[in-house]
Structure 1
């Protein structure tokens, strides 16, 4: 496929590398000479303007940091207007489902697919990052081989916006589990148990979970929260905003989410 790519950063760079290795032609936007040189090193064709990347592309992949940036690019900017009829827009940024839905409602000439990522750059480089995908059956079926260059599994959750909703629930539970482990270690240390041995012991008991193993590997709950805080904090902020927009709340999850992703 001919792919336009916007957001060749920490997560986007390994995606580009995998796409090129799979035989796709990638035009990546770089605003500076340094960023264009980095895109060229990944095997992409570097371009300086968004229109150069997206015009004539079969698919355009957007992998920027925030939902506001997606809205600026796709609703306020010329990105989607410049895309060819029948092309697909893939949104990897975690954000509000309403953003993807608003883009789809405004621009009927493209297929909008929200595909937030669960995992990190190392998972992308290994071709094993998880994607929660929202979009039409036809669009998702057409894009799955492309996304499969760096993602496995590619999980179709429903219509446009459904991928974001699944990711937001996932991240809420992730933050809540971090909070539970943090509170558990505070309980243990309050009674004189060192956090390192406590975490190691818990990974061998019925309390074991993927999150617990990650925290144990970091050495402490505080160290793990410091490492992921920027990213999980951003996502939890999106969760709170989206839940409020939909007329709900986090209920009992709220307290443990605050412990796992302090604002």
Structure 2
């Protein structure tokens, strides 16, 4: 496949490398000489402008940091308008399902797949980052060779926008679990139990979870929250905004989510 790529940064660079390694012809947007050189070192072609990314691409991957950047590129900019009829737009940025749906509604000539990630650069490099995807069955079939270069599992959650909804719920629960462990650590402190020993002990009991193991490996709840807070806080803000638009709230998860994203 000929793949256009926007956002070859911390998460995007290992994707580009995996795509090139899988035999795809990858064209990366590079705004500076340094970024273009980095793309070439990964085995991709580098272009200076959006038109070069979209031109002749079977699919375009967007892996920028925020939902507003996705909207700027895809709704306000010329990226999607310049894509070929029948091409697929893959959105890896965690954001609002409304953004993905708006792009799909405005640009009927392109199949939009919202595909937020669960995992980090090391998971992408190893080829087993999780993708929650929303899109038509046909679009999912066509982008499977692309996503399969770096993602496993690829979970088809439903129509366009469904991938974002699942990812937002996932991150809400993740933040709440962090908050729950943090509250447990505070209880331990009040009882006079040293945090490191407490965390290691709990990993062997019925309180064990993936989140608890990650926090224990970091050495403390505060250290773990400091490491993930920026990214998780962004996603939780999107969750709150999305739920508010629907007239709801996070209910009993709310206080735990606050504890989980507080550095």
Assess same fold via TM > 0.5: yes
Partner deviation per Cα, 1:190-230 (whole Å, 9 max, x = no partner): 11000000000000000000000000000000000001000
Partner of 1:65: 65
Partner deviation per Cα, 1:17-49 (whole Å, 9 max, x = no partner): 000000000000000000000000111001010
Normalised to the residue count of structure 1, the TM-score between the two structures is 0.99
Partner of 2:32: 32
Structure 1 residue 135 and structure 2 residue 112: aligned?
no
Partner of 2:87: 87
Structure 1 residue 176 and structure 2 residue 176: aligned?
yes
Partner of 1:256: 256
Partner deviation per Cα, 1:160-210 (whole Å, 9 max, x = no partner): 000000000000000000000000000001110000000000000000000
Q: Which whole-Å CA distance do the structure 1 matches of 2:241 and 2:262 have between them?
A: 16
Structure 1 residue 225 and structure 2 residue 225: aligned?
yes
Partner deviation per Cα, 1:118-156 (whole Å, 9 max, x = no partner): 000000000000000000011001111210000000000
Structure 1 outlier segments of 4+, above 3 Å: none
Structure 1 residue 123 and structure 2 residue 142: aligned?
no
Give, in angstroms, the shift of residue 262 of structure 1: 2.5
Residues matched between the structures, number = 263
Partner of 1:42: 42
Matches within 5 A, 1:186-197: 186-197=186-197
Partner of 2:146: 146
Give, in angstroms, the shift of residue 246 of structure 1: 1.5
Partner of 2:104: 104
Partner of 2:201: 201
Q: Which whole-Å CA distance do the structure 2 matches of 1:100 and 1:9 have between them?
A: 21
Q: Which whole-Å CA distance do the structure 2 matches of 1:245 and 1:83 have between them?
A: 31
Normalised to the residue count of structure 2, the TM-score between the two structures is 0.99
Q: Which whole-Å CA distance do the structure 2 matches of 1:247 and 1:26 have between them?
A: 42
Q: Which whole-Å CA distance do the structure 2 matches of 1:236 and 1:156 have between them?
A: 22
Give, in angstroms, the shift of residue 247 of structure 1: 1.4
Please report the RMSD computed on the Cα atoms of aligned residues, expressed in angstroms. Answer: 0.7
Q: Which whole-Å CA distance do the structure 1 matches of 2:176 and 2:40 have between them?
A: 40
Partner of 1:75: 75
Question: What SS class does the counterpart of residue 252 from structure 1 fall into?
Answer: helix
Q: Which whole-Å CA distance do the structure 2 matches of 1:136 and 1:104 have between them?
A: 11
